Structure 1
Amino acid sequence: MPRSRANLKVIRPAPRATARAPAVDDDAPASSTTQRIVESITTAIVERRLMPGTKLAEQKIADIFEVSRTIVRQALNQLSRDHLVTLEPARGAFVATPSVDEARQVYEVRAMLEAALVRQLCARITDAQIAELRAHLRDEREAIGRTDVPGRTRLLADFHIVLARMLGNEVLARLLTDLLSRSSLISLMYQSSHSAEASQDEHVAIVDALQRRDARAAVRLMEQHLHSVERNLRLDPRAPDLEAVLRPSHE
Protein backbone atom coordinates (compact mmCIF):
# COMPACT_ATOMS: atom_id res chain seq x y z
CA MET A 1 0.00 0.00 0.00
CA PRO A 2 1.45 3.42 -0.93
CA ARG A 3 2.42 5.70 1.88
CA SER A 4 0.15 8.63 2.63
CA ARG A 5 1.87 12.01 2.61
CA ALA A 6 -0.73 13.81 4.65
CA ASN A 7 0.24 17.14 6.16
CA LEU A 8 1.29 16.75 9.77
CA LYS A 9 -0.79 19.68 10.91
CA VAL A 10 -3.55 17.13 11.57
CA ILE A 11 -1.87 16.10 14.81
CA ARG A 12 -2.94 19.26 16.58
CA PRO A 13 -4.43 18.05 19.85
CA ALA A 14 -7.72 19.95 19.86
CA PRO A 15 -9.98 21.76 17.38
CA ARG A 16 -9.45 25.05 19.14
CA ALA A 17 -5.68 24.92 18.58
CA THR A 18 -4.05 27.69 16.61
CA ALA A 19 -1.86 27.15 13.55
CA ARG A 20 1.02 26.32 15.85
CA ALA A 21 0.86 24.25 19.01
CA PRO A 22 1.42 26.25 22.21
CA ALA A 23 5.07 26.79 22.97
CA VAL A 24 6.52 24.46 25.55
CA ASP A 25 7.65 25.90 28.86
CA ASP A 26 11.44 25.86 28.88
CA ASP A 27 11.35 24.65 32.48
CA ALA A 28 8.94 21.77 31.75
CA PRO A 29 10.47 18.31 32.23
CA ALA A 30 11.37 16.60 28.97
CA SER A 31 9.22 13.60 29.96
CA SER A 32 6.05 15.71 30.20
CA THR A 33 6.81 17.38 26.87
CA THR A 34 7.36 13.99 25.27
CA GLN A 35 4.08 12.76 26.71
CA ARG A 36 2.21 15.76 25.31
CA ILE A 37 3.41 14.89 21.81
CA VAL A 38 2.50 11.23 22.34
CA GLU A 39 -0.99 12.18 23.51
CA SER A 40 -1.50 14.60 20.61
CA ILE A 41 -0.61 12.00 18.00
CA THR A 42 -2.62 9.30 19.76
CA THR A 43 -5.67 11.57 19.96
CA ALA A 44 -5.41 12.36 16.25
CA ILE A 45 -5.32 8.63 15.51
CA VAL A 46 -8.29 7.83 17.76
CA GLU A 47 -10.30 10.70 16.27
CA ARG A 48 -9.34 9.46 12.77
CA ARG A 49 -7.58 12.67 11.77
CA LEU A 50 -4.25 10.94 11.17
CA MET A 51 -4.22 8.15 8.62
CA PRO A 52 -2.24 4.89 8.53
CA GLY A 53 0.97 5.27 6.57
CA THR A 54 1.33 9.02 7.16
CA LYS A 55 4.99 10.06 7.41
CA LEU A 56 5.84 11.66 10.75
CA ALA A 57 8.76 13.94 9.93
CA GLU A 58 10.78 14.70 13.05
CA GLN A 59 11.65 18.26 12.09
CA LYS A 60 8.07 19.09 11.15
CA ILE A 61 6.77 17.83 14.50
CA ALA A 62 9.60 19.67 16.31
CA ASP A 63 8.54 22.90 14.58
CA ILE A 64 4.85 22.38 15.43
CA PHE A 65 5.55 21.83 19.14
CA GLU A 66 8.62 24.10 19.33
CA VAL A 67 10.83 21.40 20.81
CA SER A 68 14.05 19.65 19.88
CA ARG A 69 14.15 16.67 17.56
CA THR A 70 15.51 14.64 20.46
CA ILE A 71 12.22 15.05 22.33
CA VAL A 72 10.26 14.21 19.18
CA ARG A 73 12.37 11.09 18.72
CA GLN A 74 11.57 10.03 22.28
CA ALA A 75 7.85 10.44 21.58
CA LEU A 76 8.07 8.45 18.35
CA ASN A 77 9.97 5.67 20.12
CA GLN A 78 7.22 5.45 22.75
CA LEU A 79 4.52 5.35 20.06
CA SER A 80 6.48 2.61 18.33
CA ARG A 81 6.44 0.54 21.52
CA ASP A 82 2.66 1.09 21.64
CA HIS A 83 2.42 -0.21 18.03
CA LEU A 84 0.97 3.08 16.77
CA VAL A 85 4.08 4.11 14.84
CA THR A 86 6.49 2.13 12.67
CA LEU A 87 10.16 3.19 12.62
CA GLU A 88 11.89 2.28 9.35
CA PRO A 89 15.68 2.52 8.97
CA ALA A 90 16.77 5.29 6.59
CA ARG A 91 13.12 6.23 5.95
CA GLY A 92 11.84 7.57 9.26
CA ALA A 93 8.62 7.20 11.24
CA PHE A 94 5.19 6.38 9.85
CA VAL A 95 1.77 5.91 11.40
CA ALA A 96 1.43 2.14 11.69
CA THR A 97 -0.43 0.07 9.10
CA PRO A 98 -1.77 -2.94 11.06
CA SER A 99 -1.84 -6.31 9.33
CA VAL A 100 -4.96 -8.47 9.02
CA ASP A 101 -3.55 -10.90 11.59
CA GLU A 102 -2.86 -8.07 14.03
CA ALA A 103 -6.40 -6.74 13.54
CA ARG A 104 -7.92 -10.10 14.37
CA GLN A 105 -5.67 -10.53 17.39
CA VAL A 106 -6.54 -7.08 18.76
CA TYR A 107 -10.27 -7.82 18.62
CA GLU A 108 -9.75 -11.29 20.08
CA VAL A 109 -7.94 -9.79 23.08
CA ARG A 110 -10.55 -7.04 23.44
CA ALA A 111 -13.37 -9.61 23.47
CA MET A 112 -11.66 -11.62 26.23
CA LEU A 113 -10.90 -8.58 28.37
CA GLU A 114 -14.16 -6.72 27.94
CA ALA A 115 -16.36 -9.77 28.49
CA ALA A 116 -14.62 -10.33 31.83
CA LEU A 117 -14.87 -6.60 32.55
CA VAL A 118 -18.65 -6.35 32.23
CA ARG A 119 -19.15 -9.65 34.07
CA GLN A 120 -17.27 -8.28 37.09
CA LEU A 121 -18.82 -4.84 36.80
CA CYS A 122 -22.35 -6.26 36.99
CA ALA A 123 -21.62 -7.52 40.50
CA ARG A 124 -20.52 -4.15 41.85
CA ILE A 125 -21.83 -1.31 39.69
CA THR A 126 -23.64 1.43 41.62
CA ASP A 127 -26.68 3.50 40.72
CA ALA A 128 -24.42 6.56 40.53
CA GLN A 129 -22.22 4.79 38.00
CA ILE A 130 -25.27 3.84 35.93
CA ALA A 131 -26.24 7.52 35.92
CA GLU A 132 -22.71 8.41 34.77
CA LEU A 133 -22.98 5.90 31.92
CA ARG A 134 -26.37 7.32 30.91
CA ALA A 135 -24.83 10.79 30.78
CA HIS A 136 -22.04 9.44 28.59
CA LEU A 137 -24.61 7.86 26.27
CA ARG A 138 -26.38 11.23 25.98
CA ASP A 139 -23.07 12.85 25.00
CA GLU A 140 -22.61 10.15 22.35
CA ARG A 141 -26.08 10.78 20.92
CA GLU A 142 -25.57 14.53 20.84
CA ALA A 143 -22.20 14.21 19.06
CA ILE A 144 -23.79 11.88 16.49
CA GLY A 145 -26.72 14.25 16.03
CA ARG A 146 -24.52 17.23 15.27
CA THR A 147 -22.22 15.17 12.99
CA ASP A 148 -19.20 15.87 15.21
CA VAL A 149 -17.07 13.06 13.77
CA PRO A 150 -13.94 13.49 15.95
CA GLY A 151 -16.08 14.03 19.04
CA ARG A 152 -18.32 11.04 18.51
CA THR A 153 -15.37 8.81 17.64
CA ARG A 154 -13.62 9.78 20.86
CA LEU A 155 -16.78 9.30 22.96
CA LEU A 156 -17.59 5.90 21.44
CA ALA A 157 -14.06 4.73 22.26
CA ASP A 158 -14.10 6.31 25.72
CA PHE A 159 -17.23 4.31 26.63
CA HIS A 160 -15.06 1.22 27.04
CA ILE A 161 -12.48 3.10 29.14
CA VAL A 162 -15.22 4.46 31.41
CA LEU A 163 -16.36 0.88 32.09
CA ALA A 164 -12.82 -0.18 33.00
CA ARG A 165 -12.32 2.76 35.35
CA MET A 166 -15.62 1.99 37.08
CA LEU A 167 -14.14 -1.37 37.95
CA GLY A 168 -11.31 0.52 39.63
CA ASN A 169 -8.60 -1.18 37.60
CA GLU A 170 -6.26 1.42 36.11
CA VAL A 171 -4.00 -1.24 34.59
CA LEU A 172 -6.97 -2.60 32.66
CA ALA A 173 -8.05 0.92 31.69
CA ARG A 174 -4.59 1.67 30.33
CA LEU A 175 -4.44 -1.61 28.45
CA LEU A 176 -7.84 -0.96 26.88
CA THR A 177 -6.76 2.58 25.96
CA ASP A 178 -3.83 1.14 24.01
CA LEU A 179 -6.02 -1.49 22.34
CA LEU A 180 -8.62 1.10 21.38
CA SER A 181 -5.97 3.30 19.78
CA ARG A 182 -4.86 0.32 17.72
CA SER A 183 -8.50 -0.44 16.91
CA SER A 184 -8.86 3.07 15.50
CA LEU A 185 -5.96 2.46 13.13
CA ILE A 186 -7.47 -0.88 12.14
CA SER A 187 -10.83 0.76 11.36
CA LEU A 188 -9.10 3.31 9.15
CA MET A 189 -6.91 0.72 7.48
CA TYR A 190 -9.72 -1.69 6.65
CA GLN A 191 -12.53 0.79 6.02
CA SER A 192 -14.97 -0.17 8.75
CA SER A 193 -18.61 0.07 7.70
CA HIS A 194 -19.85 -0.19 11.29
CA SER A 195 -21.80 3.02 11.81
CA ALA A 196 -21.58 5.30 14.82
CA GLU A 197 -25.36 4.91 15.24
CA ALA A 198 -25.02 1.12 15.46
CA SER A 199 -22.24 1.37 18.04
CA GLN A 200 -24.27 3.81 20.11
CA ASP A 201 -27.34 1.53 20.08
CA GLU A 202 -25.15 -1.38 21.19
CA HIS A 203 -23.70 0.71 24.01
CA VAL A 204 -27.24 1.50 25.20
CA ALA A 205 -28.11 -2.21 25.28
CA ILE A 206 -24.96 -2.97 27.31
CA VAL A 207 -25.82 -0.28 29.87
CA ASP A 208 -29.40 -1.59 30.07
CA ALA A 209 -28.01 -5.03 30.96
CA LEU A 210 -25.65 -3.52 33.53
CA GLN A 211 -28.54 -1.63 35.12
CA ARG A 212 -30.45 -4.92 35.44
CA ARG A 213 -27.28 -6.49 36.89
CA ASP A 214 -27.71 -9.17 34.22
CA ALA A 215 -24.15 -10.42 33.80
CA ARG A 216 -25.00 -13.05 31.20
CA ALA A 217 -26.73 -10.51 28.96
CA ALA A 218 -24.00 -7.90 29.45
CA VAL A 219 -21.29 -10.37 28.41
CA ARG A 220 -23.30 -11.55 25.40
CA LEU A 221 -24.02 -7.98 24.27
CA MET A 222 -20.39 -6.89 24.64
CA GLU A 223 -19.19 -9.91 22.66
CA GLN A 224 -21.80 -9.24 19.97
CA HIS A 225 -20.81 -5.56 19.85
CA LEU A 226 -17.12 -6.30 19.32
CA HIS A 227 -17.88 -9.09 16.85
CA SER A 228 -20.13 -6.71 14.91
CA VAL A 229 -17.38 -4.09 14.74
CA GLU A 230 -14.84 -6.66 13.57
CA ARG A 231 -17.26 -8.22 11.07
CA ASN A 232 -17.72 -4.85 9.40
CA LEU A 233 -14.00 -4.55 8.70
CA ARG A 234 -12.76 -5.59 5.27
CA LEU A 235 -10.33 -8.18 6.59
CA ASP A 236 -10.99 -10.64 3.77
CA PRO A 237 -10.76 -8.57 0.58
CA ARG A 238 -11.52 -10.58 -2.51
CA ALA A 239 -8.84 -10.81 -5.16
CA PRO A 240 -9.95 -8.80 -8.17
CA ASP A 241 -11.07 -10.55 -11.32
CA LEU A 242 -8.26 -9.41 -13.64
CA GLU A 243 -10.36 -9.98 -16.74
CA ALA A 244 -13.17 -7.84 -15.39
CA VAL A 245 -10.74 -5.17 -14.22
CA LEU A 246 -8.49 -4.98 -17.30
CA ARG A 247 -10.80 -5.76 -20.22
CA PRO A 248 -11.60 -2.52 -22.10
CA SER A 249 -15.18 -1.45 -21.63
CA HIS A 250 -17.43 -1.45 -24.68
CA GLU A 251 -20.13 1.07 -25.23
Structure 2
Amino acid sequence: MNARSKPDAKAQMPAGKALSAVAAAKSTTGDSTQTIVAAITGAIIEHRLAPGAKLTEQKIAAIYGVSRTIVRQALFQLARDHLVTLEPARGAFVAQPSVEEAQQVFAVRRMLEQHLIEAFCDKATASDFRAMRAHLKQEQAVVGRVDVTGRTRLLGDFHVLMAERIGNHVLAQILSELISRCALITLMYQSSRAAQHSSDEHVDILKALEARDAPKAKALMEAHLLATESSLLYHPRTSSADLAQALGSYAA
Protein backbone atom coordinates (compact mmCIF):
# COMPACT_ATOMS: atom_id res chain seq x y z
CA MET A 1 0.00 0.00 0.00
CA ASN A 2 1.54 3.31 -1.03
CA ALA A 3 1.59 6.48 1.05
CA ARG A 4 -1.28 7.93 -0.95
CA SER A 5 -3.57 4.98 -0.27
CA LYS A 6 -2.59 4.51 3.40
CA PRO A 7 -5.75 4.82 5.48
CA ASP A 8 -5.93 7.78 7.82
CA ALA A 9 -6.26 6.93 11.53
CA LYS A 10 -9.23 9.27 11.90
CA ALA A 11 -10.90 7.71 8.86
CA GLN A 12 -10.65 4.27 10.53
CA MET A 13 -12.37 5.56 13.69
CA PRO A 14 -15.94 4.27 13.95
CA ALA A 15 -18.50 6.96 13.19
CA GLY A 16 -19.98 6.78 16.68
CA LYS A 17 -16.63 7.32 18.37
CA ALA A 18 -15.74 10.14 16.00
CA LEU A 19 -18.99 11.94 16.78
CA SER A 20 -18.46 11.36 20.50
CA ALA A 21 -14.97 12.84 20.27
CA VAL A 22 -16.31 15.94 18.48
CA ALA A 23 -19.09 16.29 21.05
CA ALA A 24 -16.61 15.96 23.91
CA ALA A 25 -14.37 18.63 22.41
CA LYS A 26 -17.34 20.97 21.98
CA SER A 27 -18.48 20.23 25.52
CA THR A 28 -15.05 21.03 26.95
CA THR A 29 -14.90 24.29 25.01
CA GLY A 30 -18.43 25.18 26.08
CA ASP A 31 -17.71 24.36 29.72
CA SER A 32 -14.61 26.57 29.70
CA THR A 33 -16.54 29.41 28.09
CA GLN A 34 -19.34 29.16 30.65
CA THR A 35 -16.84 29.01 33.51
CA ILE A 36 -15.38 32.33 32.41
CA VAL A 37 -18.84 33.85 31.85
CA ALA A 38 -19.91 32.78 35.34
CA ALA A 39 -16.69 34.04 36.90
CA ILE A 40 -16.85 37.50 35.36
CA THR A 41 -20.59 37.77 36.05
CA GLY A 42 -20.00 36.78 39.67
CA ALA A 43 -17.14 39.25 40.03
CA ILE A 44 -19.41 42.03 38.73
CA ILE A 45 -22.34 41.08 40.97
CA GLU A 46 -20.07 40.87 44.01
CA HIS A 47 -18.45 44.20 43.12
CA ARG A 48 -15.00 42.65 42.52
CA LEU A 49 -14.91 44.19 39.04
CA ALA A 50 -15.97 47.81 38.65
CA PRO A 51 -17.66 49.46 35.66
CA GLY A 52 -15.06 50.37 33.06
CA ALA A 53 -12.54 47.74 34.19
CA LYS A 54 -10.41 46.44 31.32
CA LEU A 55 -10.89 42.73 30.51
CA THR A 56 -7.68 41.69 28.81
CA GLU A 57 -8.07 38.51 26.77
CA GLN A 58 -4.49 37.38 27.32
CA LYS A 59 -4.68 37.80 31.11
CA ILE A 60 -7.98 35.95 31.38
CA ALA A 61 -6.64 33.15 29.14
CA ALA A 62 -3.61 32.82 31.43
CA ILE A 63 -5.75 32.76 34.58
CA TYR A 64 -7.89 29.88 33.28
CA GLY A 65 -5.31 28.12 31.13
CA VAL A 66 -7.41 28.36 27.98
CA SER A 67 -7.05 29.83 24.51
CA ARG A 68 -7.90 33.44 23.71
CA THR A 69 -10.59 32.10 21.36
CA ILE A 70 -12.48 30.66 24.33
CA VAL A 71 -12.06 33.92 26.26
CA ARG A 72 -13.35 35.83 23.24
CA GLN A 73 -16.44 33.61 23.10
CA ALA A 74 -17.12 34.35 26.77
CA LEU A 75 -16.70 38.08 26.24
CA PHE A 76 -19.09 38.02 23.27
CA GLN A 77 -21.70 36.29 25.45
CA LEU A 78 -21.23 38.85 28.23
CA ALA A 79 -21.55 41.66 25.69
CA ARG A 80 -24.83 40.14 24.50
CA ASP A 81 -26.01 40.23 28.13
CA HIS A 82 -24.98 43.91 28.38
CA LEU A 83 -22.41 43.27 31.11
CA VAL A 84 -19.43 43.93 28.85
CA THR A 85 -18.79 46.40 26.03
CA LEU A 86 -16.52 45.51 23.12
CA GLU A 87 -14.70 48.45 21.58
CA PRO A 88 -12.88 48.12 18.22
CA ALA A 89 -9.09 48.38 18.59
CA ARG A 90 -9.43 48.83 22.35
CA GLY A 91 -10.82 45.52 23.61
CA ALA A 92 -13.37 44.53 26.24
CA PHE A 93 -14.49 46.50 29.29
CA VAL A 94 -17.01 46.00 32.07
CA ALA A 95 -20.06 47.97 30.95
CA GLN A 96 -20.79 51.44 32.32
CA PRO A 97 -24.59 51.87 32.28
CA SER A 98 -25.89 55.35 31.56
CA VAL A 99 -28.41 57.07 33.82
CA GLU A 100 -31.13 56.48 31.22
CA GLU A 101 -30.29 52.77 30.99
CA ALA A 102 -30.30 52.48 34.78
CA GLN A 103 -33.77 54.01 34.98
CA GLN A 104 -35.04 51.70 32.24
CA VAL A 105 -33.66 48.59 33.97
CA PHE A 106 -35.45 49.45 37.20
CA ALA A 107 -38.67 50.26 35.33
CA VAL A 108 -38.62 46.83 33.66
CA ARG A 109 -37.90 45.13 36.97
CA ARG A 110 -40.88 46.84 38.60
CA MET A 111 -43.19 45.59 35.84
CA LEU A 112 -41.86 42.02 35.92
CA GLU A 113 -41.83 41.71 39.68
CA GLN A 114 -45.44 42.84 40.00
CA HIS A 115 -46.32 39.79 37.90
CA LEU A 116 -43.93 37.65 39.95
CA ILE A 117 -45.64 38.65 43.21
CA GLU A 118 -49.07 37.74 41.85
CA ALA A 119 -47.85 34.38 40.52
CA PHE A 120 -45.95 33.50 43.69
CA CYS A 121 -48.90 34.44 45.91
CA ASP A 122 -51.14 32.20 43.80
CA LYS A 123 -48.84 29.18 43.39
CA ALA A 124 -46.44 29.05 46.34
CA THR A 125 -46.62 25.99 48.60
CA ALA A 126 -45.54 25.51 52.19
CA SER A 127 -42.25 24.10 50.87
CA ASP A 128 -41.67 27.26 48.81
CA PHE A 129 -42.21 29.46 51.83
CA ARG A 130 -39.77 27.36 53.87
CA ALA A 131 -37.16 27.80 51.14
CA MET A 132 -37.71 31.56 51.08
CA ARG A 133 -37.44 31.81 54.88
CA ALA A 134 -34.21 29.82 54.80
CA HIS A 135 -32.85 32.21 52.19
CA LEU A 136 -33.79 35.24 54.29
CA LYS A 137 -32.01 33.69 57.28
CA GLN A 138 -28.83 33.50 55.18
CA GLU A 139 -29.37 37.06 53.98
CA GLN A 140 -29.68 38.50 57.45
CA ALA A 141 -26.67 36.58 58.73
CA VAL A 142 -24.54 38.01 55.92
CA VAL A 143 -25.89 41.53 56.43
CA GLY A 144 -25.10 41.20 60.13
CA ARG A 145 -21.47 40.41 59.28
CA VAL A 146 -21.31 43.38 56.90
CA ASP A 147 -20.29 40.93 54.18
CA VAL A 148 -20.68 43.19 51.13
CA THR A 149 -19.79 40.45 48.65
CA GLY A 150 -22.22 37.88 50.04
CA ARG A 151 -24.91 40.46 50.72
CA THR A 152 -24.98 41.71 47.14
CA ARG A 153 -25.43 38.23 45.71
CA LEU A 154 -28.01 37.05 48.25
CA LEU A 155 -30.14 40.19 48.01
CA GLY A 156 -30.42 39.65 44.27
CA ASP A 157 -30.99 35.92 44.62
CA PHE A 158 -34.13 36.56 46.72
CA HIS A 159 -35.97 37.77 43.63
CA VAL A 160 -34.66 35.02 41.34
CA LEU A 161 -35.48 32.32 43.89
CA MET A 162 -39.13 33.38 43.97
CA ALA A 163 -39.43 32.76 40.23
CA GLU A 164 -37.54 29.46 40.44
CA ARG A 165 -39.69 28.13 43.28
CA ILE A 166 -42.89 28.50 41.23
CA GLY A 167 -41.27 26.92 38.18
CA ASN A 168 -41.06 30.03 35.98
CA HIS A 169 -37.51 29.48 34.78
CA VAL A 170 -37.81 31.97 31.92
CA LEU A 171 -38.69 34.75 34.34
CA ALA A 172 -35.91 33.59 36.68
CA GLN A 173 -33.37 33.87 33.86
CA ILE A 174 -34.59 37.31 32.79
CA LEU A 175 -34.52 38.57 36.39
CA SER A 176 -31.05 37.12 36.89
CA GLU A 177 -29.78 39.06 33.87
CA LEU A 178 -31.48 42.28 35.00
CA ILE A 179 -30.14 41.90 38.54
CA SER A 180 -26.62 41.46 37.16
CA ARG A 181 -27.07 44.77 35.36
CA CYS A 182 -28.43 46.30 38.55
CA ALA A 183 -25.23 45.27 40.35
CA LEU A 184 -23.28 47.39 37.88
CA ILE A 185 -25.72 50.25 38.28
CA THR A 186 -25.53 50.25 42.07
CA LEU A 187 -21.75 50.03 41.95
CA MET A 188 -21.63 53.11 39.74
CA TYR A 189 -24.32 55.21 41.36
CA GLN A 190 -25.22 54.00 44.85
CA SER A 191 -23.88 55.68 47.98
CA SER A 192 -21.93 53.53 50.42
CA ARG A 193 -24.64 53.93 53.07
CA ALA A 194 -27.56 52.85 50.89
CA ALA A 195 -29.34 49.49 50.62
CA GLN A 196 -28.90 48.57 54.30
CA HIS A 197 -32.63 47.89 54.73
CA SER A 198 -33.16 45.66 51.70
CA SER A 199 -33.18 42.43 53.69
CA ASP A 200 -35.74 43.81 56.17
CA GLU A 201 -37.90 44.84 53.20
CA HIS A 202 -37.62 41.28 51.87
CA VAL A 203 -38.89 39.99 55.23
CA ASP A 204 -41.95 42.27 55.01
CA ILE A 205 -42.65 41.17 51.43
CA LEU A 206 -42.49 37.50 52.40
CA LYS A 207 -44.83 38.05 55.38
CA ALA A 208 -47.40 39.60 53.05
CA LEU A 209 -47.02 36.69 50.63
CA GLU A 210 -47.46 34.14 53.42
CA ALA A 211 -50.69 35.93 54.33
CA ARG A 212 -51.70 35.61 50.64
CA ASP A 213 -52.11 39.39 50.59
CA ALA A 214 -51.08 40.03 46.98
CA PRO A 215 -51.98 43.77 46.91
CA LYS A 216 -49.87 44.47 50.01
CA ALA A 217 -46.97 42.34 48.73
CA LYS A 218 -47.07 44.13 45.37
CA ALA A 219 -47.07 47.54 47.07
CA LEU A 220 -44.13 46.50 49.27
CA MET A 221 -42.17 45.21 46.26
CA GLU A 222 -42.85 48.42 44.33
CA ALA A 223 -41.68 50.49 47.31
CA HIS A 224 -38.62 48.25 47.72
CA LEU A 225 -37.46 48.73 44.13
CA LEU A 226 -38.28 52.44 44.15
CA ALA A 227 -36.28 52.87 47.35
CA THR A 228 -33.31 51.13 45.79
CA GLU A 229 -33.48 53.32 42.72
CA SER A 230 -33.98 56.49 44.76
CA SER A 231 -30.74 55.72 46.63
CA LEU A 232 -28.81 56.09 43.38
CA LEU A 233 -26.89 59.33 43.17
CA TYR A 234 -26.52 59.17 39.37
CA HIS A 235 -22.97 60.47 39.63
CA PRO A 236 -20.73 57.74 38.17
CA ARG A 237 -18.12 56.19 40.43
CA THR A 238 -15.58 53.80 38.92
CA SER A 239 -12.43 52.11 40.12
CA SER A 240 -9.81 49.83 38.67
CA ALA A 241 -9.23 46.24 39.75
CA ASP A 242 -6.58 43.64 39.11
CA LEU A 243 -8.09 40.87 36.98
CA ALA A 244 -6.19 38.05 38.68
CA GLN A 245 -7.32 39.28 42.09
CA ALA A 246 -10.93 39.84 40.99
CA LEU A 247 -11.25 36.42 39.34
CA GLY A 248 -8.83 34.50 41.55
CA SER A 249 -11.40 32.80 43.74
CA TYR A 250 -13.35 31.64 40.69
CA ALA A 251 -10.26 30.37 38.89
CA ALA A 252 -9.32 28.37 41.97
Give the superposition deviation at 1:77: 0.4
Cα distance in 2 for partners of 1:111, 1:144 equals 24
Cα distance in 1 for partners of 2:30, 2:113 equals 31
User: Which residue of 2 is the match for residue 153 of structure 1?
Assistant: 152
What are the residue-to-residue correspondences of 1:1-251 with 2, within 5 Å? 29-192=28-191, 195-235=194-234
Give the superposition deviation at 1:120: 1.4
Cα distance in 2 for partners of 1:93, 1:123 equals 43
User: Which residue of 2 is the match for residue 245 of structure 1?
Assistant: none
The AA in structure 1 aligned to 2:50 is M
Give the superposition deviation at 1:129: 1.1
User: Which residue of 1 is the match for residue 4 of structure 2?
Assistant: none
Cα distance in 2 for partners of 1:165, 1:181 equals 17
* Residues 178-236 of structure 1: per-residue CA shift (max 9 Å, x gap): 00000000001113456443000100000000100000001100000000000000137
TM-score by length of 2: 0.81
Which structure carries more helix by proportion? 2
User: Which residue of 1 is the match for residue 239 of structure 2?
Assistant: none
Sequence identity (%): 57
SS in 1 for 2:123: coil
Q: Which structure 1 segments of 5+ residues have no match?
A: 1-24, 238-251
Give the superposition deviation at 1:123: 1.1
Comparing 183-192 with 35-44, greater Cα deviation is found at: 183-192
Q: Which structure 2 segments of 5+ residues have no match?
A: 1-23, 237-252
* Residues 17-58 of structure 1: per-residue CA shift (max 9 Å, x gap): xxxxxxxx9895211110110000000111111100000000
Cα distance in 2 for partners of 1:196, 1:144 equals 10
The AA in structure 1 aligned to 2:56 is A
Do the aligned residues in 1 keep the contact of 2:195 with 2:228 (CA within 8 Å)? no
SS in 2 for 1:123: helix
Taking a change above 3 Å as real, the CA distance of residues 53 and 82 of structure 1, as seen in their structure-2 partners, is: same
The AA in structure 1 aligned to 2:211 is R
Comparing 86-95 with 195-204, greater Cα deviation is found at: 195-204
Taking a change above 3 Å as real, the CA distance of residues 192 and 179 of structure 1, as seen in their structure-2 partners, is: farther
Do the aligned residues in 1 keep the contact of 2:83 with 2:94 (CA within 8 Å)? yes
* Residues 76-108 of structure 1: per-residue CA shift (max 9 Å, x gap): 000000000000010000000000110000000
Aligned pair count? 213
The AA in structure 1 aligned to 2:64 is F
- Higher relative CO (Cα under 8 Å, sequence separation at least 6) belongs to 2
Q: CA RMSD in A?
A: 1.7
Cα distance in 1 for partners of 2:187, 2:205 equals 25
Taking a change above 3 Å as real, the CA distance of residues 188 and 236 of structure 1, as seen in their structure-2 partners, is: closer
The AA in structure 2 aligned to 1:138 is K
Give the superposition deviation at 1:149: 1.5
Runs ≥4 residues deviating over 6 A: none
Cα distance in 1 for partners of 2:183, 2:27 equals 31
Do the aligned residues in 1 keep the contact of 2:188 with 2:235 (CA within 8 Å)? no
Give the superposition deviation at 1:148: 1.7
SS in 1 for 2:197: helix
